[in-house]
Amino acid sequence: MLVFTRRRHETIMIGDGIEVRVLRVGREGVRIGIVAPPDVPVHRQEIYNQIRDANRSAADTAHPMAAIAEQLRRHS
């Protein structure tokens, strides 16, 4: 892992399209701004992981489609 020391408003460049800037340093955390091209996804890792797990569960669904459709039609 590359390790840098950065002060407030200082930036790290990754490649020529990604900029990571330290906006504020506090006792509880660091506020970071990121500029990235539209095809580079940027997410908080814990949220990304939760959604990845939910997607895997959704893709594993093997329940009969008709039974789920019926539940959805009844639900309103």
Partner 1 sequence: MTMAQANVPVDRFQVRSRFADADVNPGDVLMFAEGLPGYESVRQFVLLDVPDQAPLKVLHAVNTSEPCFLVVDPKRVLPTYRYELTDSDRQRLGAKDDGALLWLAMVIVDDAGAVAVNLRAPIVINPERMTGRQVMPNACVYPLRYVLGQ
Query: Where does this chain bind partner 1 (CB under 8 A)?
Result: 38-39, 41, 43-44, 47-59, 61-63, 65-66, 68-69, 71-73, 75-76
Q: Is the dihedral of CA 41, 43, 45, 47 positive or negative?
A: negative
CA angle (35 as vertex; 30, 41 as ends), nearest 5: 95
Give me the least distance between CB of 6 and partner 1, in Å please: 22
Q: Which of 51, 9, 55 is nearest to 32 (CA)?
A: 9
Q: Which is nearer to partner 1, 11 or 71 (CB)?
A: 71
Give me the least distance between CB of 7 and partner 1, in Å please: 25
